[in-house]
Chains A and B, each alone.
Chain A
Amino acid sequence: MKLHYDADTEAFRAELRAWLQANQPTLEEMRAEPVCSSAHLTGWSRRWQRHLFDAGLLVPGWPPELGGRNLSPVQQLVYHEEMAKTRADRTTNPQGLGIIAPSILDYGSNLLKEKYLLPTLRAERAWCLGMSEPGAGSDLAALSTRAEVHDDRFVVSGQKIWTSGAHHADHCFCFVRTDPDAPKHRGISVLIIDMKAPGVTVRPLPELSKPDHVDFNEVFFDDVVVPRDHLVGNLGEGWSISAGSLAHERGMMWLASAAQLDGTMSRLRELAREQGPDGRRIGERGCIRDAIASLYVDAQAMWFMGYQGFAKVARGQASPEHSVLKLFGSEINQRAVRIATEAQGVAALDVEFEGCGYDDSYGRPPWMTQYLQTYRATISAGTSEIQRNIIAQRVLGLPRR
């Protein structure tokens, strides 16, 4: 147990940091082309991701031909720590790089790998993930988008919703029911669907914060024809792909969340230096001081728990930290932003803001808008309640109903 890694690891960190600082996109480039959804590849983001790919710094645990350099787990941890400090994320299509590319690598045929893997890694293709449906949110296995199976093709009909980035995506990694008679977890398959195929309709679904804040969409499939060879894995294997694909990079995903929380905390501490509605410095108010100290502890604890989980994984033990960190990080961030709105008082009601509300490199929405947006993290990718169920049942071993 040590606060620092060995000299070799720290030397690697220094080298990496220097590279990232020298090569990351400039703020001007980023502001000139704001990113407006989780599948929006802009000019600068394509160049940046391609640059990382060529340097073997895109998926560092992978071999060079896949944009990596076979880094050890500790070096990968350092990579993600340093990446969290750079101005730009390594991709502006996180589901494409973090979930879909590894799933194609694990489950896809040679044809699919050839056609989609490298182009995705090189930021030439953007993806959305077709999971949730009106009748299948937390209960994903209840999905009912149907794919009729023919010899040479599938014909897909149904509806997805809360599909992030669908309006910017080239392809959908889509979970469909191929066997309506099988038990609900067994009849699901994964298809790669071209978002420009006839019969695909995308309807943006603005967020609660503002009508022009759009990442989610409804996606309608009306007899969409999908070539038979665009099946990922085997027929009926969709549920295990979903479990496998969501597990990708889970080991390090907490770092981004911890870094986000750090960002919230430093802005909250800046806010505390401002004058509040009563004319006093906000940080002088006892309950705000107490809340900030409490949140600071939690934000730091987020890192410590992450490192603790990493140590367990590195020792080959199971780590429950993913659910713990997802639950904890999203709820603490929400609380921190809420405390900021409370500290502002009536001033929090002014929500004038020009940006699209998705990317903050060219300005951050007002605190109250951010507060509404914090529910994205407590609801998506398994709500807080689902995470608590997972912890209770899978970690603590409490019985399922």
Chain B
Amino acid sequence: MDFNITPERQALVESVRSVLAQECPTTLVRDVIENGSAPEQPWRSAHELGWTSIDLPEFLGGLALGFTALGLVIEQHGRFIAPGPFLATITQFLPLVCETGTPEQLERFARPVGAGERTGALAIDHGCAADREPGERLHAHRDGDAWILEGERRFVLDGDVADDVAVAARVDHGDGVGLFVVPQGAAESRRVVALDASRRLAHLRFHGVRIEAGRVLGRPGASALALGRTLDRATVAAALECVGACQTLLEMTIEHAKNRRQFDQPIGAFQAIQHKCADMFVQVEKARATAYFGMMAVAEDDPRRALAASMAKAAASDCERLVCKESIQIHGGMGYTWESDVQLFVKRAKTLEALFGTGEAHRRRIADLLEV
């Protein structure tokens, strides 16, 4: 297994890092959280620099660099807890469209996303995501050529702002999965007062929402595989962004431990602090390596990809739990304040841990796959 990052990929990582360092300081994140601002710059840069089309095929105007390139970009977004539509649009909405879309649908929904003209979201049941099930909260039934959606989707990332919302719903035939692209506004949305206010979460209610045939993805009743494959990508991407956020928390905590003096020495000289930091480091290394494996398994369409995605999420969850706990604790009284940036990263990491199946849910899934 070759974990070597090629010089080209490393250059990509460096460029994403330097752009985000400049354009996405925590002051910008705070402006989103405290003043509800909606900065356009990170998203504009993302398509100007080709990040939005990095894993899109060339016939749709993409760079076709593959999922490993996209994954490395996502990890960097996590390091800066970049706000904006990148994660939902590129790693959740777009893969579902690409998995299932007809040539017309790819032109209609995928190409504009790669060009940075439209945004997207993915509405699934997070409680069933680890099992790759659509759940029972949203049903679809046929009405002539069209389909009618009835029910709800909760905690949809960017669900109230994305131009299009891809939706997985239960249908009563075949494999039970139907996939649809719902235009913004068709469902009744309510924004969640979310832990991480730098990201928008919304509940969507579908009161007999009618979906025209052109917005039906694939064949309802024969879409479980496409949903699963999309969830593999979305799950690995969430894990990678979580790892990025945890990496920054680790670095902030180490800096603090070196600089904060008590009892006439840096607190980082105390073994109690050193051992916590060492354990955090191990968890970040573990989560990153496991997320990279997931990334490669998806990129190469390896038979282990579903297992690898669940492993990536489970490892990211272990990492989030320890790193968030210890970074607040080691920052002490400062870590308990609103002014400290620690809380920003903790909230992003905790959000990513919960979306697309918690660590516990993915461990259940892993046990099933291993036939424990």
Closest-by-CB residue of A relative to B72 is A1
A117 to B299 alpha-carbon distance, docked (Å):
47
Q: Is the CB of A393 within 8 A of B274?
A: yes
* Interface bin, chain B: 35 or more
When distances are taken between beta carbons in the complex, the residues of chain A under 8 Å from B296 are 1-3
Number of chain A residues close to chain B: CB under 8 A: 46
Query: What 1/0 flags go to B1-13 for Cβ under 8 Å of A?
Result: 1111110010000
Q: Is the CB of B275 within 8 A of A297?
A: no
Chain B min CB distance to A325 (Å): 9
A289 to B367 alpha-carbon distance, docked (Å):
6
User: Taking the complex as formed, is A392 at the interface, i.e. its CB lies under 8 A from any CB of chain B?
Assistant: yes
Main secondary structure of the interface of B (DSSP, over half): helix
Q: Is the CB of B3 within 8 A of A1?
A: yes
Contact of B311 among A269, A297, A387 (CB under 8 A): A297
Chain A min CB distance to B288 (Å): 8
Q: Is the CB of A392 within 8 A of B318?
A: no
Chain B min CB distance to A128 (Å): 31
List residues of A (283-334) whose CB comes within 8 Å of B's CBs.
283, 289-290, 292-294, 296-298, 300-301, 303-305, 307-308, 310-311, 314-315, 320-321, 324, 327-328
A301 to B370 alpha-carbon distance, docked (Å):
16
Q: Is the CB of B279 within 8 A of A388?
A: yes
User: Taking the complex as formed, is A138 at the interface, i.e. its CB lies under 8 A from any CB of chain B?
Assistant: no
When distances are taken between beta carbons in the complex, the residues of chain B under 8 Å from A20 are none
User: Taking the complex as formed, is B52 at the interface, i.e. its CB lies under 8 A from any CB of chain A?
Assistant: no
Contact of A392 among B3, B278, B292, B300 (CB under 8 A): B278
A135 to B178 alpha-carbon distance, docked (Å):
70
Q: Is the CB of A294 within 8 A of B363?
A: yes
Q: Is the CB of A388 within 8 A of B278?
A: yes
Main secondary structure of the interface of A (DSSP, over half): helix
Segment touching A, from B53-61, B85-93, B240-248, B264-272: B264-272
Q: Is the CB of A294 within 8 A of B314?
A: yes
User: Taking the complex as formed, is B48 at the interface, i.e. its CB lies under 8 A from any CB of chain A?
Assistant: no
Contact of B254 among A292, A389, A398, A401 (CB under 8 A): A398
A300 to B289 alpha-carbon distance, docked (Å):
10
Q: Is the CB of B1 within 8 A of A290?
A: no
List residues of B (252-285) whose CB comes within 8 Å of A's CBs.
254, 257-258, 265-266, 268-269, 271, 273-275, 277-279, 281-282, 285
When distances are taken between beta carbons in the complex, the residues of chain B under 8 Å from A308 are 3, 285, 288-289, 292
User: Taking the complex as formed, is B341 at the interface, i.e. its CB lies under 8 A from any CB of chain A?
Assistant: no
Chain A min CB distance to B258 (Å): 7
When distances are taken between beta carbons in the complex, the residues of chain A under 8 Å from B281 are 320, 324, 391, 395-396
When distances are taken between beta carbons in the complex, the residues of chain A under 8 Å from B257 are 398
Contacts known (A1-B292, A2-B2); A301 close to B254, Cβ less than 8 A = no
Please give the residue numbers on chain B whose beta carbons come within 8 Å of chain A beta carbons, in ascending order.
1-6, 9, 68, 254, 257-258, 265-266, 268-269, 271, 273-275, 277-279, 281-282, 285-286, 288-290, 292-293, 295-297, 299-300, 302, 311, 314-315, 318, 360, 363-364, 366-367, 370, 372
Please give the residue numbers on chain A whose beta carbons come within 8 Å of chain B beta carbons, in ascending order.
1-5, 269, 272, 283, 289-290, 292-294, 296-298, 300-301, 303-305, 307-308, 310-311, 314-315, 320-321, 324, 327-328, 385, 387-389, 391-393, 395-401
A-B contact pairs, 8 of them (CB 8 A): A3-B2, A3-B302, A293-B364, A304-B1, A304-B293, A314-B4, A388-B274, A388-B278
